[in-house]
Structure 1
Amino acid sequence: MTDRTPRADSRRSNRLFSRRSWPEARFLADVLRTETVGGGLLLLAAVVALIWANSPWRSSYAALGAWQPWSGGSALHLDLSLAEWAADGLLAVFFFVVGLELKREFVAGDLRDPRRAALPVAAAIGGMLLPALCYVAVTLAAGGAGLRGWAIPTATDIAFALAVLAVVSSHLPQGMRAFLLTLAVVDDLFAIIIIAVFYTAGFHPLPLLGALVPIGLFALLVQKRRTWWWALIPLAALAWALVHASGVHATVAGVLLGFTVPVLPSRGSGPGLAERLEHRWRPVSAGFAVPVFAFFAAGVSLVGTDLADLLTDPVVTAVVLGLVLGKTVGVFGSTFLLARFTRAELDDEITWADLFGMALLAGIGFTVSLLIGELAFGAGSETDERVKAAVLLGSLISAALASSVLTRRNAAYRRIAERESRDDDGDGVPDVYQQDPADGR
């Protein structure tokens, strides 16, 4: 008989990566499916951009990104190029979904439990501190040029990482996927704080204070469960425009709006409004907003570039080392220390080799890394172009190394699954369920 005593439940709750509850597992499965498809579209958009930017028609790619759909919007700070609209406008949808996800995790998800939250928070902090330290160390050793980009390698791109995981994984434990998703949620929270605090230029407080009005009205409507699109979308657009005019990156408006949406259902049954809105807007984010941003952000041209000079550039070296080495050591090391100095243990179905593969996978930094590169050095600048190349290179190396490790781990779990599903006597019951526990097998 299965041990379901309170003491057994307590022991299991202290295990890292332990199995989620069924509602949580079902929600995570829906998220993973959407993000996996989105990751594929993201990868496709990046490949198309790279090919176009290095083709004989590369000038048309540059012209498309620089085109201003509304040249008369200078009075409202909206005379943006198409690439800037993608970075400032479309990514606000992505961060709105992030805001919904963050609030849901802290109110109704696993992050509401401090014991469960400790691991992804510690892994996210380690996975941001170590890459930043790697970047700072390399740039300071080279004279300090490019130090402003210290936050570039700190972000993990969940869509890209889940796309890689979907390709190499068929039998890996559920807890590993859940850990990666939760890690990315916490990682996004710190990235939002970094963008708002360290990459705000020309701050104007009055528009930001003005943005509180449409955000407050938006909050009032969603708290009363009034989901009138003809009211909510204009209020969200006005809040975005005012935050953009304040000098704070406009994507922060998306997060603030997401935080206002209630998570718990009003009558105690069915999904809450945050989950419903997330279900509605996640496909728009993962399937359109992020791939379009990637299309305009990833198109770095290497035509006429001295590759030796590029690869020895301190900023490029710092970004690549931060993503590949810093992320891996930060995520794996912080998790190991948490297990070493607390009573937390790995769940029975997870090994440290599995965790090492996931730590490598966390080094895939794309969407937010590219965005921070643009904020740090200016979109289209020479350093920004080098940052793009570095982010692509570091992410590719991390993806390749993670794929190598996780493919082997997946093969091991597949062999275990095949062994446990064997039915040599043909009675329809797997042999593993017919073994005598006293046999010790």
Structure 2
Amino acid sequence: MSMDNVQSRQPSNLIPMIMLGMLFFIFGLVSWVNSILIPYFKVSCELTHTQSYLVALAFYIAYLVMSIPAARLIGRVGSRRGIMIGLWLMSAGTLMFVPAAYTRAYSIFLTGLFTIGTGLSILQTVANPYVTILGPIESAARRISIMGLCNKIAGILAPLLFAAVILKSTDNELFEVLKNNSVTGVEKDILLDGLIRRVIVPYSVLSLFLFLFGCAIYFIRLPELGNNQQEDITHASKDRQSIGSYPYLIMGVFAIFFHVAAQVISIDTIISYAESMGFNLQEAKIFPSITLSCALVGYFLGILLIPRFASQQLMLRISTVGGLILSVCVLFIPGTIQMSGHTTSLSIWCLSLMGVCNALIYAGIWPLAIHDLGRWTNLGSSFMVMALCGNAFMPVIYGLIADHHGLRSGYIVLIPCFLYLIFYAFYGYKINHWSELWKLKKDK
């Protein structure tokens, strides 16, 4: 079956695309709420910056550990059952927040986050290849941009909804009392217990929703995009002995690693950075949503421009260079601006604007990295999902630098991320054989 035939089946692709949009909305809902969970846990569980960023580590390390088992599971049970299992695992993970809150045990929270990440790794292993294959490869970035809109709209809502449900108007005084150690002993424990137990109701409701949505998937007809179909799409894999024979894929895996690392740092750290400028948590909660709103602008640009006015390769190049420029500005740009009675550094606005660039980087890398893999498509997609563990490691590295040298200095980790992404956008994706890379090094 040719790619043209896949593209021509528009009616059969509509339901999968709607379902994928809902899945990407869920991805955003449970992922980007971490931006406010991190400072919330920092106060309620009495953590350092480094310890608080273990939220991201526990959540995203599951992608590294579980993506290959997820691919094997999907190969055995199929896409639909894989989606059901992923949603039910996420339901179990969110339910773990109940005993974690009652005991104020950070380790149980981290276990729940790892379980949620495991479910997400299964869903991502299904969803990203689906989006790429449901249509021509030249417009894959456009379809991914549509999914990105669903993801980032949920991301904009997640911290605001969490704050609306969890935080109270009187919390500013409470946070100051706790941060200044104005109370101790039993009185302090009572305050901290009351604060952390506010997560019980919203996460119980979320757990029920994920479980019921998993049950609903059973009644939805979904086409199975298995290895046989992928082999029909391309026969280019016949001369390759292993998945390691695709340098553009392997380098694309590292590109995803550095991209998601830069993205999560710009979103999950921005509340703490705003707090360092005098904002309280109630006021700072808006900054992740501002950053994700900038990402929406990027996705709209992708939908409008790709592939009619600009290729996905060109947009990827523009976005990576723009990301590097903004990273340098975050570190060094002078000047301030007034907002809500606070003097804010222009650097925090450069950090927010990074959302525009990050939106099109992810959409650009995926189709360039998994094209023409043939029978290796499922495994290659699993490797790409594994690379999402960049979200796990880089925030902890940022936290270590921030604890010792200041929050703004921690953003130096963005520079190597964007330097590698520029290499991939201009050269890496074109390398079909490793000998071409060695020749490139020799020429230099």
TM-score range, shorter chain: under 0.3
Larger Rg computed on CA atoms: 1
Give the structure with the larger helix fraction.
2
